[in-house]
Amino acid sequence: MTSEASTPSASKAKLSLTQQDRSQAVSAPAGFAVRMPLWARIGLALALALLVQALVSAMVMHWLFFSDPQEVALRHEMFRAFMHVYGIQPSPWRRLLLSPLTTTVLTAVVVGAVTFPLMRHLTRRLQRLQRGVQALGNLDLGARVPVEGRDEVAALAVAFNQAAGRIETLVNSHKSLLAYTSHELRTPLARLSMALETLGQPSPHDTAREAAFDEARRDLAELDELIGTILLFSRLDAAGTRALDVREVDVLAVAAEEASRENIEVQGDWVRIQGDERLLRHAIRNLLDNARKHAPGHLTELTVQLTARGARVTVCDRGPGVPLAEVERIFEPFIRLHGRGDGSGLGLPLVRRIARLHGGDAYYEPNPKGGACFVLEVASLDPALRP
């Protein structure tokens, strides 16, 4: 009893500590200030480099041309003669203007004048990217940065926009999933509550109690299936390909095993691919359950075909079919066709999610014989994804 009582408190303490660390990590950038802008640091580094170059040049020039006093006097006389020939009066200012130090300073001024606008343009782009990251950190899921140019900063902006879009899609998907889940759980819970009330009332007939027991069992099974489907859908949506357990899968054998539950014959090719057998089995089972629910008592056909990239599984029924206007909506979570309320509304969206994780897709085709055909196309994954 002591260990069970201490476990929740420990978990709460761990949760509060995690939230505190997270809040500190988020609030830390708010107090962070740039001491020196990037353009100023680049300019300072350039000025220091030119100054060092000037000093080194001056030392080399002095060592080469001014180490011998006689040679220095001779050069001075030659310089005065040269100035006299061209009618130029000797002046300390002219000598300073022609010195290596002055040339280096003028070069630094010219280089700075050219590079300063380029550095400012680069740092402004980085500042806009920084503001976009801060906006995303402040839960502005629609934050994006403009992509300017085709250099490394532009590539970084593209990567940021893609990551921000993925985060926005994932968060919105989880919000929708949570809202739909709370709505969908109410129906079986209400029925289960009514069944428990019936069981709690004294009844002279055992048939009413048996019916209430059966109803409670069905509601519990529905809740278990719904919660399992929601957890699987959420895990695949969050983890992506990291959730895959890639191994060699015999698609025809998996389809035959699932079809045997419904006494359905399987036709097609013997196909072996690299994929997640558990998820592929789940997808085929969902398609068969969908055909059984919407076309009860009708013939269901299951075929497996070899494709250039992997496998193609088709499940056809003789039910009412799907209106063309609703073809894409049925692959959205918790969407049901009017008058067909049976099911959780997650079966077909989960099939499409599994197909896309396997490099393929799931879609609807009208059955030429009347009814509906649902196609699951998957590609053979890279064996490097194996655990």
User: Which residues are CB-contacts of 111 (< 8 A; sequence separation ≥ 6)?
Assistant: 46, 50
pLDDT tier for residue 361 given thresholds of 50, 70 and 90: very high
> Are 3 and 10 within 8 A, CB to CB?
no
The DSSP element (H or E) to which 365 belongs, if any, is strand 361-366
- Closest residue by Cα to residue 348 from 295, 275, 386, 291: 291
**pLDDT at residue number 66:** 65
What letter does residue 320 receive in the DSSP assignment? -
Q: Among the ranges 25-39, 86-100, 163-177, 358-372, which has the highest mean pLDDT value?
A: 358-372
Report the topology of domain 244-385.
Heat Shock Protein 90 (3.30.565)
Looking at this protein, which amino acid is placed at residue 169?
Answer: T
**pLDDT at residue number 1:** 37
Using the structure block, give the residue that is written with the tokens 């994954």. Answer: 381
pTM above 0.85, yes or no: no
- What is d(CA 386, CA 371) in angstroms, rounded to the nearest whole number? 39
Q: Is the pLDDT of residue 316 over 90?
A: yes
Stretch among 340-349, 359-368, 373-382 having the lowest mean pLDDT: 340-349
Q: Is the pLDDT of residue 315 over 80?
A: yes
- What is d(CA 312, CA 303) in angstroms, rounded to the nearest whole number? 8
Cα distances (Å, whole numbers) of residue 136 to 129, 146, 172? 11, 14, 14
pLDDT tier for residue 21 given thresholds of 50, 70 and 90: very low
Q: Report domain extents, the chain.
A: 38-171, 185-239, 244-385
**pLDDT at residue number 277:** 93
> Are 335 and 329 within 8 A, CB to CB?
yes
DSSP for 239-284?
HGGGG---EEEEHHHHHHHHHHTTT--EEE---EEEE-HHHHHHHH
* Residue 145, phi then psi, degrees to nearest 5: -120, 145
Could you report the per-residue pLDDT of 126-144, keeping only the tens digit for each? 888 888 888 888 878 888 8
- What is d(CA 152, CA 124) in angstroms, rounded to the nearest whole number? 14
Q: Is the pLDDT of residue 14 over 80?
A: no
**pLDDT at residue number 231:** 75
Question: Stretch 51-67: mean pLDDT, rounded?
Answer: 72
- What is d(CA 36, CA 44) in angstroms, rounded to the nearest whole number? 10
Dihedral sign of CA atoms 145, 151, 155, 156 in order: negative
